Amino acid sequence: EAGVTQFPSHSVIEKGQTVTLRCDPISGHDNLYWYRRVMGKEIKFLLHFVKESKQDESGMPNNRFLAERTGGTYSTLKVQPAELEDSGVYFCASSQERGSHGYTFGSGTRLTVV
């Protein structure tokens, strides 16, 4: 079984530019989550999709962040425009059942804004 795949693994962009991160969950997993760790801080929840619908987006930091999940399959997280404080590692996770049982995380995308 393929795991959760994230692309790109690394991205370096200039402040003010746009970056789009992609996550492919495990096939058949309706639940998809985005988390991030910014420098020196804890891993923080961003949002949760159930299929194509946003179940909980309480962790999204501001309106520069836009998450989509077209057709309930892969998801994208766009940052526009990127700021220096957006630098960090962005993780995607998926699960078959709602709730925290046995999430599978991807390896993350390391975003550096310069």
In the complex with another protein, which residue's Cβ is closer, 17 or 45? 45
Contact 93, 33 (CB under 8 A): yes
In the complex with another protein, which residue's Cβ is closer, 15 or 98? 98
In the complex with another protein, which residue's Cβ is closer, 12 or 43? 43
Contact 21, 77 (CB under 8 A): yes
Residue 99 sits in the site that holds another protein (CB under 8 A): yes
Contact 45, 105 (CB under 8 A): no
Residues whose CB is less than 8 angstroms from the CB of residue 19 and which lie 6 or more positions away in sequence, other chains included:
11, 13, 78, 79, 80, 82, 111
Residue 23 sits in the site that holds another protein (CB under 8 A): no
Q: How many residues bind another protein (CB under 8 A)?
A: 26
| Chain contacts with another protein (rule: CB under 8 A) | 4, 31, 33, 35, 42-45, 48, 55-56, 58-59, 91, 93, 98-108
